[in-house]
Amino acid sequence: MSVQRGTQYLAIPGPSVMPEAVLRAMHRPAPNIYTGELIDIVETIMPELKQVARTAGEAAIYICNGHGAWEAALVNVFSRGDRALMLATGRFGHGWADMAGQLGVEVERIDFGRRAPIDLDRVEAALRADTAHSLKAVMCVHVDTATSVRNDIRALREALDRAGHPALLMVDCIASLAVDPFEMDAWGVDVMVSGSQKGLMTPPGLGFVFFSPKADELRERAGLVTPYWDWRPRVRPEMFYQYFGGTAPTHHLYGLRAALDLIREEGMEAIWARHARLARAVWAAVEAWGEDGPLALNIADPACRSHAVTTVLAGRENGTRLRDWLSARMGVTLGIGLGMATNEDPNSDGAFRIGHMGYVNGQMVMGVLGSVDAGLKALDIPHGSGALEAASRALGDD
């Protein structure tokens, strides 16, 4: 018998849960795109987005998903034949590198595997070896949503500086923005890409590229730039329509405005602290389950784990079995294992992911953890006891 009827919970790492306020803000007839409220709210959205990214640089909005934002960032910086270094810590780093390669950028990769963050000593050595400074950019993903690793971007900037290398630092914060602490200017990031559907709690469909004056200098010579993806008219529009290269994404903008209101009310530091607390509850539960049986956190070091998403190794096929059971029986959908395949398990079926980014609170996380606990029991997957007690303590202690 299923107890699945009721509010469904999509606990995957994006699209994340949308607040009622965001949904309500979008439920309206088509607005005037030439004058009036829509124009006014875009004037407020731009500075607030920059505050969320902690930058005094520029922000461009595109009507696209995260992949579109990836491409926008690449074409404004590179020419065919340019060299770049990708520091890959999971599937998304490889995806961005593949795209750059397809555009004609020569991407050198350092692959840190699926269970570890960027090793800064290796990065520094690679940069010192590039004595001609032919690498135009160092690229990485802040939180790789496949592995749930979180990289230390501030320390990465310090490694670039120690090596005395002038490459741009380009970072994908699609999963981490407004979830894990991130300070674009203080950490010396030149280009940052993000999207609307994760920490920003708005439907998929808006891509953001933030960039520094140094990155904009490269735009001067970027041979790959095309009219639609050019970031310049979007940050210095002479006409309103240039913000979006055409018709504005009207309803997304209303939704984003409502999401930014929620973010401002709560405050960035409080948002970061909430996500840290929720993540600790998830980790405590998985650690308890892992005391006996196959479950384990993919990232061993808590300092290198994201607060947005947790990748759990569950043993051959158990990830998929649990996901199927939870969605059919409990009304909770977990994220699939992504790029976590091994020789033993070629389809990543042995992993699942819990998204805890965005508009998520304690009862939602406890509901997911309780559902996983029920699934482990129903499916006879061996596990340690006390997971929910451990999560309760992580949520309740001060």
Min dist CB 151 to ligand PLP, Å, is 11
Q: Report the residue number, 101 or 294, with the smaller CB distance to ligand PLP.
A: 101
Establish if 335 lies at the interface with ligand PLP (CB under 6 A). no
Please pick, from the candidates 19, 117, 195, 203, the single residue that binds ligand PLP as defined by CB under 6 A.
195
**Of the ranges 171-179, 222-230, 296-304, 370-378, which one interacts with ligand PLP (CB under 6 A)?**
171-179
* Alpha-carbon torsion (237, 239, 240, 246), positive or negative: negative
Q: Report the residue number, 82 or 180, with the smaller CB distance to ligand PLP.
A: 180
Alpha-carbon distance of 180 to 148, in angstroms, equals 12
Pairing of strands 351-355, 309-313: antiparallel
Q: What is the CA radius of gyration of the chain?
A: 21
Alpha-carbon distance of 100 to 102, in angstroms, equals 5
Q: Report the residue number, 14 or 57, with the smaller CB distance to ligand PLP.
A: 14
Please pick, from the candidates 172, 190, 216, 345, the single residue that binds ligand PLP as defined by CB under 6 A.
172
Q: Report the residue number, 57 or 195, with the smaller CB distance to ligand PLP.
A: 195
Please pick, from the candidates 11, 54, 61, 65, the single residue that binds ligand PLP as defined by CB under 6 A.
65
What x/- string results for residues 218 through 247 when contact with ligand PLP is judged by CB under 6 A?
Answer: ------------------------------
Establish if 210 lies at the interface with ligand PLP (CB under 6 A). no
Alpha-carbon distance of 261 to 264, in angstroms, equals 5
Please pick, from the candidates 49, 53, 107, 175, the single residue that binds ligand PLP as defined by CB under 6 A.
175
CB-based closest residue to ligand PLP: 66
Q: Report the residue number, 336 or 387, with the smaller CB distance to ligand PLP.
A: 336
Q: Report the residue number, 107 or 175, with the smaller CB distance to ligand PLP.
A: 175
79 contacts: CB under 8 Å, gap ≥ 6:
221, 222, 223, 224
Alpha-carbon distance of 269 to 257, in angstroms, equals 20
Please pick, from the candidates 67, 109, 214, 316, the single residue that binds ligand PLP as defined by CB under 6 A.
67
Min dist CB 305 to ligand PLP, Å, is 15
Flag whether 353 is marked binding: yes
Q: Report the residue number, 127 or 137, with the smaller CB distance to ligand PLP.
A: 137
**Of the ranges 55-63, 64-72, 250-258, 340-348, which one interacts with ligand PLP (CB under 6 A)?**
64-72
Alpha-carbon distance of 191 to 176, in angstroms, equals 15
Q: Which residue has the tokens 């933030």?
A: 210
Count Cα atoms within 13 angstroms, Cβ side, for 386.
10
What x/- string results for residues 21 through 60 when contact with ligand PLP is judged by CB under 6 A?
Answer: ----------------------------------------
Q: Which residue has the tokens 């491409």?
A: 71
Size of the site for ligand PLP (CB under 6 A): 13
Alpha-carbon distance of 56 to 286, in angstroms, equals 39
Cis peptide before 15 (omega within 30 of 0): yes
Alpha-carbon distance of 335 to 315, in angstroms, equals 16
The two structure tokens encoding residue 336: 């699939």
Min dist CB 185 to ligand PLP, Å, is 21
Alpha-carbon distance of 378 to 264, in angstroms, equals 42
Alpha-carbon distance of 295 to 286, in angstroms, equals 7
Please pick, from the candidates 9, 62, 78, 92, the single residue that binds ligand PLP as defined by CB under 6 A.
92
Identity of residue 240: F
Alpha helix segments (H runs only) across 130-200: 153-162
Establish if 174 lies at the interface with ligand PLP (CB under 6 A). yes
**Of the ranges 139-147, 180-188, 299-307, 382-390, which one interacts with ligand PLP (CB under 6 A)?**
139-147
The two structure tokens encoding residue 235: 């940050």
Burial class (CB in 10 A: 0-12, 13-18, 19+), 77: buried
How many angstroms from the chain centroid is the CA of residue 27? 26
Min dist CB 250 to ligand PLP, Å, is 20
Instruction: Write out the binding residues.
Output: 353
Interface ranges with ligand PLP (CB under 6 A)? 14, 65-67, 92, 141, 144-145, 172, 174-175, 195, 204
Instruction: Write out the binding residues for substrate.
Output: 353
